Structures are given as C-alpha cells and as structure tokens.
Amino acid sequence: MIEIKHLSKSFETAGGTVEALKDINLTIEDGDIYGIIGMSGAGKSTLVRCINMLERPTEGSVVINGKEMGSLSAHELREARRDITMIFQGFNLLMQRNCLRNICFPLELAGMKKADARKKAMELLKLVGLPDKAKNYPAQLSGGQQQRIAIARALATNPKVLLCDEATSALDPSTTHSILQLIRDINKKLGITCIIITHQMSVVEEICNHVAILDGGQVAEEGAVGTVFSSPKSQAARRLVFPQGEDEMVSNPGTEARIRVIFNGAKAAGTPLIATMASEKHILVNILSASTRAIEDRAYGSMLLGVPGGPDVVKETIEYLTGVPDVIVEEV
C-alpha cells in the first residue's frame, strides 16, 4: 500500500516561492492501477518524483508498505527504490547498449552474475513480446518497441510498484493501446501496483481502476474511475470529462422539458436505449448533448434530452429510463 499524507512541495525561484503541491492525501492499494491526471503544470510529475524521493517533499510523508520513505537512510532508500521502478515519456534507454544489455544494466548494478542477468533479461524480452530484438540497438526500434524495452528494464529488479510518467504521450493511438494492454497484462500476471501519470483522459479510461485529478497542485477529486467520470463534482474534473463544455444547450429550447440521463456503469453500452424507448413506448426525444464512454463494457457519462409533449410524457420518459439498471435520471 502507498499512503501519501499531507504532502506539499515548494520550490524557491528568483521570483519567489512556487507551491507545486499542496496537502496531497492519497491511498493506493496493492495491485491497483491508479491514474493521476491533470493539465500541464498541475503537479503530476512532481508528485510521482516525490513518491520515490527523487524530490523530497517540503512537508508530509510517503509511506510504502509501512516504510516512511523520507526517514530512510541513503542506503535504505537505495534498497527501497529497487521495489519502485519508473518508465518515462522519452524511454531513457542507453543508446550504446543493445536491448539485452539495456535490460541487464540494473541487474549488473545489483551485483547479479552476467549469465543470470542475461537469462533474466531474455525472460523479460519474451514477457514484453520482443524476444527477437535482443541484439538490436534502441535506434533500430520504433517508439513503441523502445517503450517495451524500457518496461522490461523496469521489471528487471522484480519491483512492487511501477511508476509511469507520461509513458505513452509520445506514441500514436494504436501503439499507446498496445503499451497500455501490456501494462495491464503485467499488472495481472505479476500483481505490480501501477501508477499512471498522464494528461490524457483516454489513457485513464482504458486502463485505470481509480483516479486522482490534480489541479493547481491540489487533489480536486478522486475515486473509482467510473464514479468520477459518470458524475464529476469538481470544476477541474468537469473540464477533463467534458472538454467541449458540459450540457451545451441548443439556442431555442421551445417548450421542451429537459432531463439529464446519467450512466453510472450501465450495461446499456451496446444497447440503443433512446431508439428502444421510441420503439416500445412511442416516446420521441431530442438529444441536446451527450458525453458518454464505454469502460470495460459499461457505459459512463451523461446525456441531456429534450422531451416535448407535456408533463405526462416527461413522467413516462423518466419512469422508463429509471427502470434501466445503473441509470440515474433527473429533471433539469
């Protein structure tokens, strides 16, 4: 378990003190895939660097598996960091070493025999799907392949925590999907806790179980991904979930009543709910705005409907939609 308690981080600059993080409190359970998302400058990378003590918090603490990281000696911290590895946007591979030797590098630093290190590295190459790239150099690989090698290197010391700092930001959508799938597979096979630092909502939607939204160095909102995305409460969360604006209204609403339909994990992800209602109940509505997404075959998000026809039609519409499991309906 990772416990971040009242963590703050300030930097002294020529222009004065900059508060990068302010009173951060988070708990990340073992084996979770936890997303930390925010706009540029929100403090995401500073937070992840505080977790492994590459940056020392100004205040507060980071406790990992019962160890308060800030109180460890230099030797104890080096030992603890073997359990906490990191991958980056820029891959950070050693260009003068081939892929096998890149993966061997942390094992060599740990004092492992060369033959044992090579055997372990070959196993990791198979795990990340690149057993035929052992003798290739990083410059001969695509960006996605380089990130796979970086992941293999990060796994070499059998870590308990994998920190991913914008690890897919430099990749195209298809390659991003394959890397996220690899991280999910590693999480399931090895039980590693994964912390995903990103500014991309699509990354959090695809892979994370829980998410914290940072805004101005503070936690604006946190919780299960489905809960946060289906009903964001903070302004920062709404900006991320509804980047085009929430519930944008048509210019001339006329006499329509308006109802908001909130999908909170409904299995209706593949069901034409509005069309089915029209067919079964002969209720015709206007979709004024919608922001929904499927996460693990369940629907999250909301839809704003215009309902013509008077109070009886509105009542019938609400009764029909509230009969769908995990759907919340409210008149607005």
Instruction: Please state, in angstroms and rounded to a whole number, the distance separating the CA atoms of residues 226 and 298.
Output: 9
Residue 241 belongs to some domain of the structure:
no
For residue 139, the tally of other CB atoms under 10 A from its CB is 8
Residue 169 and residue 301 share a domain = no
67 lies in the same domain as 131: yes
Q: Do both 156 and 293 map to the same domain? A: no
Give the model's pLDDT for residue 245.
60
Whether residues 19 and 128 fall in one domain: yes
80 and 143 co-located in one domain: yes
Q: What is the pLDDT at residue 251?
A: 43
- Cα–Cα dist 91/47, whole Å: 19
Of the residues 183, 205, 235, which one is the last residue of a structural domain?
A: 235
Residue 305, domain CATH = 3.30.70.260
The answer to whether residue 100 sits within a structural domain is yes
Q: Is residue 66 part of a domain?
A: yes
Same domain, 286 and 151: no
Final residue of a structural domain among 200, 235, 270 = 235
In a domain, 245, yes or no: no
Identify whether residues 276 and 169 lie together within a single domain: no
- Same domain, residue pair 204 and 323: no
pLDDT of 268 reads 55
* 170 Cβ contact partners less than 8 Å away, ≥ 6 residues apart: 89, 90, 143
At residue 259's C-alpha, the angle toward residues 254 and 263, to 5°, is: 145
Predicted confidence at residue 252, as pLDDT, reads: 45
Q: Domain boundary at 186, 204, 235, which?
A: 235
* Together in a domain, 196 and 51: yes
Task: Please indicate, yes or no, whether residues 31 and 85 belong to a single structural domain of this protein.
Answer: yes
122 lies in some domain? yes
pTM: 0.78
Q: Which pLDDT value is given to residue 248? A: 47
Whole domain around residue 210: which residue ranges? 2-235
pLDDT value, residue 249: 44
Mean pLDDT by 10 residues, the chain (332 residues): 95 90 96 93 91 94 93 91 89 93 93 94 95 95 93 93 90 90 93 93 89 94 87 84 58 68 71 84 85 74 84 89 85 78
- Nearest-5° Cα angle at 34, 29 to 35: 155
Does one domain contain both 230 and 269? no
Residue 108 domain-assigned (yes or no):
yes
Structural domains in the chain (count): 2
- Report the CATH number that the domain containing residue 110 is assigned in CATH: 3.40.50.300
Same domain, yes or no: 221 and 264 = no
Domain assignment present for 247? no
| 95 domain residue, yes or no | yes
Question: What pLDDT score was predicted for residue 254?
Answer: 57
Residue 35 CB contacts under 8 Å (≥ 6 apart), including other chains: 195, 196, 198, 203, 204, 207, 208, 210, 211, 212, 225
